[in-house]
Amino acid sequence: MHRVGYLLTEGFQIMCLATQTVFEFANIVAGKAVYRLENFSVGGGTLRSSLGMSVETLPLAAPGLADTWMVTGTLTPLTPPGDEVLASVRGFVDAARRTAGLCTGSFVLAQAGVLDGRRATTHWAYANKLRELHPKIDVEEDRIFIVDGPIWTSAGMTAALDMALGMVEKDLGNEMARSVAHKMVMHQRRSGGQCQHSELLSLSPRTDRIQSALDYARRHLSRPLCVEELAQVAHLSPRQFTRVFTAETGQSSAKAIEGLRLEAARLMIEQSRHSLEVVAKETGFRDRRHLREVFVRVLGVPPQAVRRDARQV
């Protein structure tokens, strides 16, 4: 049986406990108790979350209480959690099979010195601060989650669910992970190599006209998409569309569509076995060479590296 311990501190972020549902459903799918979950704190007893909800915890004692430790984050990650907490983390990391920082829980691992010399991620809003405070860490703020040996770290909020699902896949196989994702209505199971941001979400247009044009573009990426066509969808003249689009999104429509194509291609590469020629055609790139050029220019890596990383998670 896999024993999963959650280390909570006062004011922990309640969303971190949502990851327990992934392990709960793994037990349901398996038809037996594959995972045992317990909540811990340094002294045990009742702890209050950032939302004010109370959770009972067991006291930390011997480091062998769990083989997987999930270190939860708080809304004040820049405040060290205390020497006892950090000493406990250092103690159980050596004895555990793996240790994970959920969202800003990465700061606890960093403050304990666990992440020095490793790749790690955290909530995008705090990534630069993590890099600034802990220069020995290779912070990759654009990743959903990262596995570096026995140390796992996740980005914010729902990314921790993807990381927990990645653990289930590592422990019990791909089919089990797919079944759990299906039961949890996670229609899109994201691998760790994915970007934290949705390209469409990051554009954040202010009006429905531009939003409708972007939605249209995303549904028709395999086609050439000219300004005239998008302007017609937005019920604007091409000149008006160009001006309004740039004002609302901060970039040209051509640049935005390239971002949507890149995001769609990346998802196809990570989640399917389609050839790069098929991926390029389906997402609107001229050919495989054009696809590679954009990947290297924007992401710094070729599409083959993205596929390789996704399969290693």
Whether the predicted pLDDT of 144 surpasses 60: yes
Residue 22: how many CA atoms within 13 Å on its side-chain side? Answer: 27
Write the pLDDT tens digit of every residue in 175-230.
898 899 888 877 445 554 445 455 555 566 778 889 899 989 989 999 899 999 99
Question: Does the pLDDT at position 105 exceed 50?
Answer: yes
Confidence of residue 140 (pLDDT cuts 50, 70, 90): confident
Do the first three CATH levels of 2-183 and 199-312 match, i.e. the same topology? no
273 pLDDT exceeds 50?
yes
The residues spanned by each domain of the chain are 2-183, 199-312
User: Which tens digits make up the pLDDT trace of 38-89?
Assistant: 999 998 999 999 999 999 999 987 556 899 999 999 988 888 888 999 999 9
Given this model, what pLDDT does residue 276 score? 93
Structure tokens at 162: 């993807």
In the CATH hierarchy, which fold is given to the domain comprising 2-183? Rossmann fold (3.40.50)
Is 154's pLDDT higher than 80? yes
Given a cut of 90, is residue 310 above it in pLDDT? no
Which DSSP string do the residues of 80-111 spell out, in sequence order?
A: ---HHHHHHHHHHHHHSSEEEE-TTHHHHHHH
Q: Determine the CATH number of domain 199-312.
A: 1.10.10.60
Rounded to the nearest 10 degrees, the angle between the axes of helix 238-249 and helix 208-219 is 100
Name the percent of the chain lying above pLDDT 90.
60
Note the pLDDT tens digit of each residue in 16-34: 999 999 999 999 999 999 9
Task: Enter the tokens of residue 43.
Answer: 């002294």
Token pair 């990947």 in the structure block, residue: 295
Which residues 6+ apart lie within 8 Å of 37 measured at CB?
A: 4, 5, 6, 20, 23, 24
Main-chain dihedrals φ then ψ at residue 38, nearest 5 degrees: -145, 145
Q: What is the DSSP letter of 57?
A: E
